[in-house]
Structure 1
Amino acid sequence: MYNTLRLEKEGRIATLILNRPEAMNSMNAEMMQELAACLESLKEDTTVQVLLLKGEGRAFSAGGDIKAMIDPDAPFNIEGVMKYVSRIALALYTLPQITIASVHGAAAGLGCSIVLGCDVVIAEENSKLAMNFIGIGLVPDGGGHFFLKERVGVSKAKQLIWEGKKLVGTEAKQIGIVDELSSDGLGWSTAMSYAHKLLQSPIAAMIATKDILHAGKVKELELILEKEAVAQIAMRKTADHLEGIEAFVEKRQPAFNGK
């Protein structure tokens, strides 16, 4: 059904697998479109009560596909991409399931936004989480501003976004970005155990609580998604973004000039 994802269901548990392992599950326009459609379809699935998200291969997701951003043979439609990204964030936040992110390897950029949009984040000790849009002169998208400040507060969110630091799982747990740690290699089994524990709980009441707490925040998320889209489209046209992309490809430190 999908080219870049796998959706597997077993009883009341569904697993959504990002499936571009050759590219560390970096997200091109096709994956973003499929992810938006997949999450929106799950909003109508009353048979599923827990959704687990993970990445195939050696990472959760390296974020947006930078190679796709600079491919001269396939012009990058930032306006269209931002629509997919906003749909992903809004669908994820309003899902009528308990969502669990299982993080191994890297969860960077948009991948990090998606992780933080989940109800429960389980990460391996040496996984790496990074809201690192700043490294290529961009702002967080996918609701990254919203999800991060919901977890750590506005002041800390600004610091983390501006710094763009890679946090290992243990550091991320200390500041509240990660809920549960596992040993390296045991993240997925830990996430599955957590999911089965949820199913032995009065999970309908838990889902109702999620809906109650999220309902009043949906308009705020929509506003932030609109502002992220406007800002990202503007940032794509800056000299700093071009320098950041070129430095990334050339594996050197960027020289930003604030323009």
Structure 2
Amino acid sequence: MEFSTITLEKLERRATLTLNRPQAMNAMDGDMMRELAECFEALQQEKDIQVLVIRGEGKVFSAGGDIKAMLDENKPLNIDEAMVYLTRIVRAYYQLPMIVIAAVHGASAGLGFSLTLGADIVVACENSKLAMNFIGIGLIPDGGGHFFMKERVGTVKAKQMIWEGKVLTAKEALDAGLIDYIAPDGTVFAMADQLVGKMLASPISSMITTKKILHAQNLSQLENVLALEAEGQSAMRKTTDHIEGIHAFVEKRTPVFVGK
């Protein structure tokens, strides 16, 4: 399977999926969303791969959704189409029959952070920045962000962290329970490789079966969250605050929100 915005490499029982739009800080445009959906759906049928590592090419893991694409007058982002892709991505991602490790360097923000939190194990470089910062452009988390945040920290804390949209250091994210390991600067991929080796030297079929059992209990809740995120995000895209938020982001100024 050939892709233009991501790469998938397989080696015996492991695979590495790399977000590959480094010129755009691996921001997810419509093409990347479509390719991620196709990739995860194909991996759902994989019989030999037991560990998947997700990483980003270039300086960061992912800056999130492609905000510039939201403002592109020639090819504007179709939010309803995007939400269909995101539903496909997350549904397949959550049911992958393998252990998923997210290796984060640089930054993981917005939709990129939703993808990070959906991994079974998250290791982040000590100087990385992590943020569920949809609120800064007048949007709600998507890509299952509500579900994955709640799984990690509980409902009350998830609400507060989503509302605040704070950019967290790796230490703050670890203390909050959002990530699992911190790697010294420049060693995140080496630490991910060590974790892969540990997994493959374990009775990993048992581990994957436990994942399948636990995830099966939550699948209907995830489906409901994805439907509500699609409905809510479509509505938020039409708000005055969102339009102000994305213009302020591109213009590098503080947004002025009016609650509409």
TM-score (norm 2): 0.99
1:69-127: CA deviations, max 9, x gaps?
00011122110000111111111111000000000011000000000000000001111
2:163 aligns with 162
1:33 aligns with 34
2:86 aligns with 85
CA RMSD of aligned residues (A): 0.5
Alpha-carbon distance in 2 for matches of 1:158, 1:90: 22
Off by >2 Å, runs of 4+ in structure 1:
none
1:197-253: CA deviations, max 9, x gaps?
100000000000000110010000000000000000000000000000111011010
Aligned residues: 259
TM-score (norm 1): 0.99
Alpha-carbon distance in 2 for matches of 1:38, 1:141: 19
2:201 aligns with 200
Alpha-carbon distance in 1 for matches of 2:59, 2:100: 21
1:100 aligns with 101
Alpha-carbon distance in 2 for matches of 1:35, 1:149: 23
Alpha-carbon distance in 2 for matches of 1:126, 1:10: 29
1:22 maps to a residue whose letter is: Q
Alpha-carbon distance in 1 for matches of 2:93, 2:129: 22
2:233 aligns with 232
2:52 aligns with 51
2:115 aligns with 114
1:188 aligns with 189
1:215 aligns with 216
Alpha-carbon distance in 2 for matches of 1:17, 1:246: 29
1:9 aligns with 10
Displacement, 1:35? 0.4
Structure 1 residue ranges without an equivalent (≥5)? none
1:121 maps to a residue whose letter is: V
Identity rate of aligned residues, in percent? 59
- Superposed, 1:57-76 pairs within 5 Å as 57-76=58-77
Alpha-carbon distance in 2 for matches of 1:65, 1:76: 9
2:125 aligns with 124
Alpha-carbon distance in 2 for matches of 1:175, 1:214: 22
SS at match of 2:123: strand
2:62 maps to a residue whose letter is: S
Alpha-carbon distance in 2 for matches of 1:119, 1:14: 15
1:258 maps to a residue whose letter is: G
2:152 maps to a residue whose letter is: R
Alpha-carbon distance in 1 for matches of 2:87, 2:134: 16
SS at match of 1:16: strand
